[in-house]
Structure 1
Amino acid sequence: MREQLGAGDSRRAGPYRLVAALGRGGMGRVFLGRSRGGRLVAVKVVDAGLAGDEEFRRRFAQAAQEARRVGGFYTAQVVDADPDADPPWLASAYIPGPSLDEAVRAHGPLPYQAVRVLGSGLAEGLAAIHAARLVHGGLKPSNVILADDGPRITDFALARALDAAHPSMTVSAEHGAFLSPEAARGQHAGPESDIFSLAGVLVFAATGRGPFAGAVGAEVLHRIVNAEPDLTGVPEPLAGLLAACLAKSPEHRPGLDRLLEQLAPAGTQGPGWLPPPVATMVDEQRTVPAAGTMRRRAFLAGGVAAAAAAAVPVGIWLGSDSGSGSGDGKGAPGSGAKDGESAKGKPAAGPKLTPTETIDIGKTDASIHLAYSQDGKQLATGLKSSVTLWDSASRSKIATLTPKAEGLLAHCVAFGGDGLLALGYLKAPARDNDFQTGAGGVTVWDIASREEVAVLTAPALGSSLYPMQSLAFSPDGKTLAGARSGPPDSFGEVPLWDVRSGKRIEDLVVGAGKGNRYFAVRSVAFSPDGKILAAGYGGGLKGGVVLLDTSSWSPIATLPLDGTDAFGVTTVAFGPDGRTLAATFGGLALWDVAARKLTARIGTANDQIQSLAISPDGSVVAGAGGAGAVQGHIGLWDLASAKEIVSVPAGRSGVGDVVFHPDGRTLATAYTNAKMLSTVQLWAVG
């Protein structure tokens, strides 16, 4: 949606006057601009956090230079860029017209001749990209713009030219549906991969659905790799050509020359190639209202599509893999912390931790998982195959809830705001199968009745996925998000369910196309207003957080982080006002959510902090860990200054979950005691 510029928005980017806001991508914001001569352009302005990263600037300059090498009529041309500006920006030709996705969803499939025109134009555009020794790597209906004189390709992801950079780790439902088999497996994807994706886009144009429709997340990736495409409704001879393009082996797909030969329309392209309703959409979007009154839909660069109506900067989908991530990697202002060091200095004034009571769980060496109900009256402890509810005031046991299904191992617990409790589990492995395919799931109870009201599953369909390692209810209690990951050669996944109906909404695949454990996802959290879902990912000594727009489940930003422990980001949490995001990576990382900027990096991976909680008033963050160390520990830090307030030893060999009571005066921790047994320790905060 085109919007008026806000009070804090810049009015210029280099020589271009910015007249409206078009949207946001993972790298920054997109604006409608005018050149001195009155030419309209789409201007991508990089967020301040990334702009402060010198390594990012270097890659931005390289990507802009490469994108400007791409010629041809059927690509939205990059016309200008300044990687040295503050902040950096890039301008591309502004193309009036709806996206293919928007047009088909509004008016149905395109006629046969229009599909041929579309296909020949896209093939010619890809040829121009390949001639520049680039691979698009993400062709899909939302980054194809339908202009009155032919289609245009936008959003050249350039992932292959920028392998070292951090792209968004989450594969949207649309993007995943058009990946090639080699990309889905995490193998090298060359120009032949674009031919596979092009065929999928043309199937969508001809039928209104992709060739592997009816599946989401890991399921659609499984179909792409193993199943035959569904070409029902694709007219001949187009169906035979697209079937060849959708061959599983890259070497068996036809080249672009053959596609152009068979798709080239009999007449010339130009006005009249689109059906009248779509042509009307182009006409409506060609008119540019006066500045201050503009409202229109736009394609967001960086892989975020909001029903495109404008071309965006070509060839740019970047992040940073520098140690500073989205900020300077140092302590927050006034913290005096250096990069890679704890923000200690003079201890900040604040609360202390005093052990008060231990809840007797019994003799067990199993991990304990903790959650307080939102009213604070109950504490849930997930252990082995059940959840026990405790009265928070008397510390007495209320009830034990056991799933009806047998052989489940508890891995996380979460309360919903409407009296629900969820247990994330792994089905006990069979003797001949260490981790059963798709065995992780969720059991949901109504707390008042103690009745099991839902069993939520997300089959992995061919990819071994580990248990639900994290659960989060949306603030309105309607949606439940999970986090689970696979072995080193697999990927992570964020399954989403409608809680009451039990219907799976989406499976957001994290790391498809890369094929290594760097993309494992272990934690999820909703922002207090429910508009953002954060997913922590990582492995291999790097990781970060992906932010998702909950209205579309599309990625809106990636907050990269290097120098993590072997697990990457293990816990994420928003502050109560939604302005701050905290994450554990062995140390603690804090981001300004709106600016996408890393404001503090507390400690290093060697501190082994793997769980955290933010106090209900937002003043303090508690971090705990030490698993595998000689001594566990719990620390409190002032959230505003990132200064350490107090650190106390806790547990013989590490602390697991840590949660604040809703009143902020009690902190509950799960740890291993001197006898190597798991227990729950309560601490007075004050």
Structure 2
Amino acid sequence: MREQLGAADSRQAGPYRLVAALGRGGMGRVFLGRSRGGRLVAVKVVDEALAGDEEFRRRFAQATQEARRVGGFYTAQVVDADPDADPPWLASAYVPGPSLDEAVRAHGPLPYQAVQVLGSGLAEGLAAIHTAQLVHGGLKPSNVILADDGPRITDFALARALDAAHPSMTVSAEHGAFMSPEAARGQHAGPGSDVFSLAGVLVFAATGHGPFAGGVGAEVLHRIVNAEPDLTGVPDPLAGLLAACLAKNPEQRPSLGHLLQQLAPGDGQGAGQDTGWLPPPVAAMVDGQRTVPSANPMRRRAFLAGGVAAAAAVAVPVGIWLSSGSGSSDGKGASGSGSKGGGSAEEKPAGPKLTPTETIDIGKTDASIHLAYSPDGKQLAIGLKSSVTLWDSASRSKIATLTPKAEGLLAHCVAFGGDGLLALGYLKAPARDNDFQMGAGGVTVWDTASRKEIAALSAPAKGSSLYPMQSVAFSPDGKLLAGARSGPRDSFGEVPLWDVRSGRKVKDLVVGAGKGSSMNAVRSVAFSPDGRILAAGYGGELKGGVVLFDTSSWSPIATLPLNDTDAFGVTTVAFAPDGRTLAGTFGGIALWDVAARKLTARIGAAADQIQSMAISPDGSAVAGAGGGHAVAGHIALWDLASHKEIVSVPAGRSGVGDVVFHPDGRTLATAYTNAKMLSTVQLWTVE
């Protein structure tokens, strides 16, 4: 639970200002902190006794380096650490919500559907950890955080650092209760050990007690090694699966791939139909942790009280909620933080308003959805898990479903090109259980007139790639297709280029060779309107930037660095219609003068979590969307010339994904998950 800092508590850990105490773990205390750019993080500060142990410091340094390789949606990403500090500390993404231990002890066991969602999320999170060649080694209810959009795993790799440095240290009661038999015996604990611990955590979630409860200390370890698990109270659909996971022999336990297949909620299940995946009392605990202490409370975006997701989901005109200030340039490339100071609605520039006009319900999906309008505006493409649906923009009716010939693809982005071409960027799913190739991606291209697949463009994994195809863009003449993805080891990422019609690879543009890590990737690509420049937004680990390439030679002509970003760097890039301004999202929105190669404004801050945006076809406004976790979902419009916010509206239970303008500029399409945890495309009239 969050508490105010005491008089003896430090107020700083490296670059992070500590604002509250979150709790205590096996290595030290955990604090809520803010980065210099306003990003919220959870900072674990090591106790003095361990900080003075050189062997522990060595193991801690190794573990933190390993932990930063871990990606995935269901892990709390490690973003920074300093094992040489006094005391050492580690910062990870802050996830508002109680631990599973806190939630169950406060409100009792979770309902079956919530346990199902919990299990599938934790299995996917562990798969991401195993992909990084790591084993968690200490999964337990206290390091599972319950967020409104799914669980998060914390403390991966760190438990092993403590055990390795101090093998004789007494095992905590909680850790011991969820330890695997091989770990209890002091034997090698591989990925199967995490499967055993996962099953124990799910038993606790479903019943309020662990599978080997009823003893303490050595007695619990003896029961884990020799006794059968107590599955009393576990719902029948789960009991058999969890019993298999709790087999004494790790070779007899099912794989994570099998668990994901068995636990993945079907349509209409899992996340719940009315109040999200968490029961109302636990959801209230999540909401109670959204309020963040701050020395400057006006930095946070303030919305009027009310049902945020419900207000955005209706398809009738609603009142627009205006905020009262904006970021503005200081003439030196920096600007205001997006704070909503003491201004009023009258100070805003005259401009468009947003009115929700129609909702396209996609239903229950287990992946985010992606949007693109055709150049003529007649079709809206919606990228789903492994296909693309085409919708008639006028009638709002579905006209086709395009499915790649290759199987096992997970969509990540869509884009239209000239001559009716449509591209889907994807991640290639594993061919067998536990064979996660996080960097194996590619692009499928269709001719939308004939509905025929005309190209299958592959981008095999390189080095320690963690991120697949993040973005795709056609050149203005429609001949070339650029992608955005992870790159070779120790780079910032890579831009693969193909000749669309022939499928021939033209070039692989490596960004930041020798300067990056496995957490970096090129996140976004865009061609200038005249086709002479290709912009590649990259980043990771709270910093990034944009590299500009000359398309005649494919040589880099400028690098536009950007510090104090969110964890992913620059996630979207777009040129204004006249090509003079380049915009990029970094949590806020950055604007550059293309000719001068100069940052002219930063709209908002990384803490606003804006990760998608679009520039209006007439070049007058930029729309940004984001939120989730620490910030409510929202959509906003800013005047591109003055950088002042025009309008802001709430949207999405867990933040907003893609945002795209119709070519006529009168409609804005956004993608988000609504209050019922169903995927939704909301259409807004811009007037």
TM-score of the aligned structures, taking structure 1 as reference length: 0.50
How has the CA–CA distance of structure 1 residues 487 and 647 changed in structure 2, closer, same or farther, with 3 Å as cutoff? farther
Contact 1:571/1:584 (8 A) holds in 2: yes
Distance 1:581 1:517 in 2: 27
Q: Could you say which residue in structure 2 is the equivalent of 1:402?
A: 403
Deviation of the 1:558 alpha carbon = 0.6
After the TM superposition, which residues 596-615 of structure 1 pair with which residues of structure 2 at under 5 Å, given as runs? Answer: 596-615=597-616
* One-letter amino acid of the counterpart of residue 639, structure 2: D
Q: Could you say which residue in structure 1 is the equivalent of 2:522?
A: 521
**Residue-by-residue CA offset, 1:412-453 (whole Å, 9 max, x unaligned):** 000001110000011112455553275200000001100000
SS at 1:360's partner residue? strand
Contact 1:340/1:602 (8 A) holds in 2: yes
Establish whether residue 648 from structure 1 lines up as the match of residue 649 from structure 2.
yes
Instruction: Give structure 2 stretches of 5+ with no counterpart.
Output: 1-325
Deviation of the 1:349 alpha carbon = 1.1
Distance 2:523 2:453 in 1: 25
Contact 1:629/1:654 (8 A) holds in 2: no
Deviation of the 1:631 alpha carbon = 2.1
**Residue-by-residue CA offset, 1:330-351 (whole Å, 9 max, x unaligned):** 7237999944345875222100
**Which has the higher mean CA deviation after the structures are superposed, 388-397 or 453-462?**
453-462
**Residue-by-residue CA offset, 1:50-74 (whole Å, 9 max, x unaligned):** xxxxxxxxxxxxxxxxxxxxxxxxx
SS at 2:628's partner residue? coil
Deviation of the 1:618 alpha carbon = 0.2
**Residue-by-residue CA offset, 1:472-515 (whole Å, 9 max, x unaligned):** 00000000000012699665110000001100000111232124
Q: Could you say which residue in structure 1 is the equivalent of 2:663?
A: 662
**Residue-by-residue CA offset, 1:25-73 (whole Å, 9 max, x unaligned):** xxxxxxxxxxxxxxxxxxxxxxxxxxxxxxxxxxxxxxxxxxxxxxxxx
Q: Could you say which residue in structure 2 is the equivalent of 1:388?
A: 389
Distance 2:332 2:412 in 1: 36
Q: Could you say which residue in structure 1 is the equivalent of 2:337?
A: 340
Distance 1:627 1:511 in 2: 30
* One-letter amino acid of the counterpart of residue 672, structure 2: Y
Distance 1:605 1:466 in 2: 21
Establish whether residue 441 from structure 1 lines up as the match of residue 442 from structure 2.
yes
Deviation of the 1:366 alpha carbon = 2.1
How has the CA–CA distance of structure 1 residues 437 and 360 changed in structure 2, closer, same or farther, with 3 Å as cutoff? closer
Distance 1:491 1:534 in 2: 14
Contact 1:581/1:592 (8 A) holds in 2: yes
Report 1 or 2 for greater relative contact order, CA contacts < 8 Å, sequence distance ≥ 6: 1
Contact 2:418/2:478 (8 A) holds in 1: yes
* One-letter amino acid of the counterpart of residue 337, structure 2: G
Q: Could you say which residue in structure 2 is the equivalent of 1:578?
A: 579
SS at 2:632's partner residue? coil
Distance 1:640 1:421 in 2: 32
* One-letter amino acid of the counterpart of residue 360, structure 1: D
Q: Could you say which residue in structure 2 is the equivalent of 1:477?
A: 478
* One-letter amino acid of the counterpart of residue 444, structure 1: V
After the TM superposition, which residues 444-523 of structure 1 pair with which residues of structure 2 at under 5 Å, given as runs? Answer: 444-485=445-486, 491-517=492-518, 519-523=520-524
Contact 1:652/1:672 (8 A) holds in 2: yes
Q: Could you say which residue in structure 1 is the equivalent of 2:328?
A: 331
Q: Could you say which residue in structure 2 is the equivalent of 1:593?
A: 594
* One-letter amino acid of the counterpart of residue 560, structure 2: L
Count of aligned pairs: 358
SS at 2:607's partner residue? helix
Contact 2:334/2:599 (8 A) holds in 1: no
The Cα RMSD (Å) is: 2.4
How has the CA–CA distance of structure 1 residues 551 and 335 changed in structure 2, closer, same or farther, with 3 Å as cutoff? closer
Deviation of the 1:625 alpha carbon = 0.2
* One-letter amino acid of the counterpart of residue 667, structure 1: L
**Residue-by-residue CA offset, 1:575-616 (whole Å, 9 max, x unaligned):** 000000000000011111001111111111011100000000
After the TM superposition, which residues 195-594 of structure 1 pair with which residues of structure 2 at under 5 Å, given as runs? Answer: 331-332=328-329, 338-342=335-339, 345=343, 346-433=347-434, 435-436=436-437, 439-485=440-486, 491-517=492-518, 519-594=520-595
* One-letter amino acid of the counterpart of residue 564, structure 2: G
Deviation of the 1:460 alpha carbon = 3.3
Identity of aligned residues (%): 85
Distance 2:584 2:653 in 1: 24
How has the CA–CA distance of structure 1 residues 483 and 433 changed in structure 2, closer, same or farther, with 3 Å as cutoff? farther
Q: Which structure is larger by alpha-carbon Rg, 1 or 2? A: 1
**Residue-by-residue CA offset, 1:503-554 (whole Å, 9 max, x unaligned):** 0000111232124256421000000000000000111111110000000110
Contact 1:435/1:464 (8 A) holds in 2: no
* One-letter amino acid of the counterpart of residue 455, structure 1: A
Deviation of the 1:458 alpha carbon = 2.4
Q: Could you say which residue in structure 2 is the equivalent of 1:636?
A: 637
How has the CA–CA distance of structure 1 residues 397 and 381 changed in structure 2, closer, same or farther, with 3 Å as cutoff? same
* One-letter amino acid of the counterpart of residue 636, structure 1: L
Contact 1:331/1:599 (8 A) holds in 2: no
* One-letter amino acid of the counterpart of residue 646, structure 2: I
Contact 2:638/2:644 (8 A) holds in 1: yes
SS at 1:340's partner residue? coil
